[in-house]
Amino acid sequence: MILTVTPNPSLDRTYEVPSLDRGEVIRATGERMDPGGKGVNVSRAVAAAGQRTVAVLPLGGAPGALVADLLDQQGIEVAPVPVAGATRSNIALAESDGVLTKINAPGPELSGAERELLLETVRRQSRDASWIACCGSLPRGLAPSWYAELVARAHAAGARIALDTSGPALLAALRERPDVVKPNAEELAEAVGRPLTTVGDAVKAAEELREMGARAVLASLGADGQLLVSHEGAWFGSARVAAVRSNVGAGDSSLAGFLIAGGNGPDALASAVAHGAAAVQLPGSVMPTPSDLDPAAVTVTAEVPADRVLKEPVS
């Protein structure tokens, strides 16, 4: 079982539009409503793969009830933490050329009692978990050190932690040695405080995160592929993609694929790449099922192309 923790979940509405013209009336060609938040998406991807998952998340108001109902419809066990504030609603506009515009609401502010209840719920639910995936931004009321506290408590209980967050929350949690962290290229550059222009730059940045405490780094480089850097070495993975339809939740699908495959080594990286590549070819934040995967399109190598210039350099 993979347990996910989403401190700031959302109700996500995705609209497919031909193009985004500011100040104009835009008619959507398709729409979806999904439970959102990075950890929620990981649970959705795990469930789509036919594996058991439990989602821990604070929920409040009508949007929170709808998130719980949508997850239940997808066969995902929910461990809700009742909060006074309403769960946030987010909007994504997906253009036909693959460009995505997102509007993310801030979410409710958690009280001291709600913070403790969230940690206690994670503790109760983690007994049977092979992995705990802690994902996304922190809502108001949770200090940047909150993830660090969660990682410390989970390790004390013998659990393995995958962390997907950024900024001060990521840096604070590194001192507690999470088992794997999953930044994208922008988050990786922010963590080390310098631009990334080549795959080699990304490898060096990942190695620095390991020096700061991460036991392994799974880095998403967008269209350029993914990196895995651990004490065993470094691997680079990429996949052929026919057409990008939406990248919403693709990184979360990748993390799910990585954890489903054991969360370690090149086979797990190949699974992560396959899940991410499948996700970007699906509408909205639809998560891939096994039939959507194309393992033959995936390449993983220990010969990392360090000199390759990133298609989307991060400055």
Q: Where are the domains of the chain?
A: 2-314
Sign of the alpha-carbon dihedral angle for 256, 262, 264, 267: negative
The catalytically annotated residue of 12, 164, 224, 252 is 252
Residues 6-65: pLDDT tens digits?
A: 999 999 888 999 999 999 999 999 998 889 999 999 999 999 999 999 999 999 999 999
CA pair distance 138, 37, nearest whole angstrom: 11
- The pLDDT profile of the chain, 315 residues, written as one tens digit per residue, is 999 999 999 998 889 999 999 999 999 999 988 899 999 999 999 999 999 999 999 999 999 999 999 999 999 999 999 999 999 999 989 898 878 898 999 999 999 999 999 999 999 999 889 999 999 999 999 999 999 999 999 999 899 999 999 999 999 999 999 999 999 999 999 999 999 999 999 999 999 999 999 999 999 999 999 999 999 999 999 999 988 887 878 999 999 999 999 999 999 999 999 999 999 999 877 899 999 999 999 999 999 999 999 988 886
Annotated catalytic, 128?
no
List residues bridging with 309 in a β-sheet: 198
3 neighbors 53 (Cβ within 8 angstroms): yes
Tell me 140's DSSP state: B
CATH superfamily of the 2-314 domain: Ribokinase (3.40.1190.20)
Amino acid at the residue 122:
V
Longest dimension (CA), the chain: 54
Integer CA distances (angstroms), 180 to 81, 85, 98, 224, 264, in order: 25, 31, 29, 20, 9
